[in-house]
Amino acid sequence: MDGRARVIIEGVQPTVDGGAFPAKRVEGDVVVVEADIFADGHDLISAVLLHRHTSDKKPAETRMRALVNDRWRAELRVDKLGFYTFTIEAWIDHFLSWHRDLQKRAAADLEIQLRIGLEMIRAAATHAKGRDRKRLEHYIEIVEGDGDIADKVHAVRSDELLDLMWRHGERRFATRHACEYAIEVDRRAAAFSTWYELFPRSVGTFADVEAQLPRIAKMGFDVLYFPPIHPIGRTFRKGRNNSMLSTESDPGSPWAIAGHKDIHDTLGTMRDFTRLVARAKEHGVEIAMDIAFQTAPDHPYVREHPEWFLKRPDGSVQYAENPPKKYQDIYPFHFESDAWRELWEELLDVFRFWIDKGVRIFRVDNPHTKPLPFWHWVLNELKRDHPDLIFLAEAFTRPKIMYWLAKAGFTQSYTYFAWRNTKYELTEYFSEITKPPVSDFFRPNAWPNTPDILTEYLQYGGRPAFVIRLMLAATLSANYGIYGPAFERFVNAARDPGGEEYLDSEKYEVKHWGEADDDLSEMIALVNRVRRENPALQQNLTLKFHDTTNDDILCYSKSSGDNIVLAVVNVDPHNPQSGWIELDLDALNLDANRPFQVHELLSGARYTWHGPRNYVQLNPQVVPAHIFRIRRKVRTERDFEYFL
């Protein structure tokens, strides 16, 4: 520590847990870095953001600018996948302080002050080269010359001299912040993606799935997610509806995995799979694989590596359970085994195996039931070689664990959205997960249903409930997904009263969906097209909730430049609701004294609204939501009004 370094730097953002984890961004983002920077006395301060991509040897610097109350800011554009690091350096800028005070000096004091400035300019000239050095020498000549003092003062007060001194002036006793922070940069699909979950065995083979690609792409999905496609164990195989009794015709649960680097023989060959991955890309769709680190009792791991499993006193292997639930067809790995290092390496190799087959997106099953340090290690090992990977955490767990998994490297996470139904619940929850500090590391992926989750809202709300949840998921969150055919066709029969398991669940049997007389495919395609055409819906940071006079009507907006989208949703699937919405016009950058147009993107209708207070009525049996694009009125130089 040099006691002459007087500047204090604190309150740096964006940071996650004081720099223990990286903040998340996607390629092309502009990262706003801010910090509190101050010092004793009245001297002026200069500060720079020092930043580099980890592939660069030397950091670049960006000048920071002062805001108010000793807060400083700089902007950094991140264009490369991988990791950037940054820190901040600040110092007392004696030349800037001198320059500021020169105009306040009494005439009798100017000569000595010019000599003080001259010393600093000379020192800068010794560091400069080329034209910059010549220009600094020009100012030295002026100050040393025989000209009038007033002319000298006028000359050195130039903006050019300030710029030259910024580049070449001495930075004595600079303070560099003790911590170097990281920013993890993912590809754009990490921030904006639309998922469709499909059981391949219910379609047939990989070739049959390939035939479904045009339909899935037409609906606007860019990620096609498969539950496990591996061989399924036969020992303690589950029957229909999770029955302990199974027959020869029961296919078993795909999560009872009998080979993590193999494909179920009914689906096709590895060559068929890699062909499907390639064909999907031609349709603008990526295949996402499920990674479930558990085994069937007849998995080769059980025979070849018994040390990876926990033995009970009777010598049998401990199967998975969450009392009173029992999963006799699944063995969990014993991560406290003495052979834990070998286990970790093998599970890392499972990822690498499928990466070599062209997979770049993984949905990870129940990561919160495996050691958290394992995920931190394995995800960072994989991203070092493949920074384009995306990992979705199926982490329906406690908030702190869910958030830690995101900090540790998961790109996206499932959320509690499925159980947030009221205006209050949705407002509170999305206000938390879409704003810093949470949004610096956590990317929500909203799913209204999954093969494991059929909420009470969907069970009893009929078709309107499915439409409402579609509208909310697709507009509140930039990433969302559906458990495909079941959602499209309003499947809402629960196995047990008060439960969330599907009756005749596809987890335990092959479903033959066939053609449907009525489904949501056209509505889904329309909503996904709206998402693609409006950049405002492709991010979460600008989400803003607006007041309404009816607690069953939710109103919120998102904006990206001139693209402003306003959603109004009736969250009651049973009854028409009406009321007044109270828009925050400042947040929408609207003039309270001028009308504006709202273009309803689902129906194509256009309305002219005036001021913040506007009336809406929504019938869930028709369409329970409006998605408006706001088009502000502006005046051209020719005095011709038009809508942006």
Q: Where are the alpha helices (DSSP H) in 128-220?
A: 130-144, 149-156, 159-168, 200-203, 206-218
Per DSSP, 522 falls in state: H
SS3 232: strand
Tally Cβ neighbours within 10 Å of residue 80. Answer: 13
Helix (H) or strand (E) holding 460: helix 456-476
**Rounded to 5 degrees, what are φ and ψ at 299?**
-70, 140
The sign of the torsion formed by the CA atoms of 249, 254, 259, 264 equals positive
- For 479-506, the DSSP string reads EEEEEHHHHHTT---BSSTT--SBTT-T
> Does a cis peptide bond (omega within 30 degrees of 0) precede residue 14?
yes
The length of the chain is: 644
Tokens matching residue 84: 């950037």
**Among residues 362, 368, 435, which one has the least CA distance to residue 400?**
368
Dist. CA 450–CA 366, nearest whole Å: 13
Q: Which amino acid type is present at position 480?
A: Y
Per DSSP, 418 falls in state: G
Helix (H) or strand (E) holding 381: helix 372-385
Q: Which amino acid type is present at position 7?
A: V
Tally Cβ neighbours within 10 Å of residue 279. Answer: 17
**Among residues 444, 440, 419, 441, which one has the least CA distance to residue 430?**
444
Tally Cβ neighbours within 10 Å of residue 148. Answer: 9
291 CB-side CA count, 13 A: 25
Residues with a catalytic annotation lie at 365, 394
Dist. CA 250–CA 510, nearest whole Å: 8
Dist. CA 157–CA 44, nearest whole Å: 16
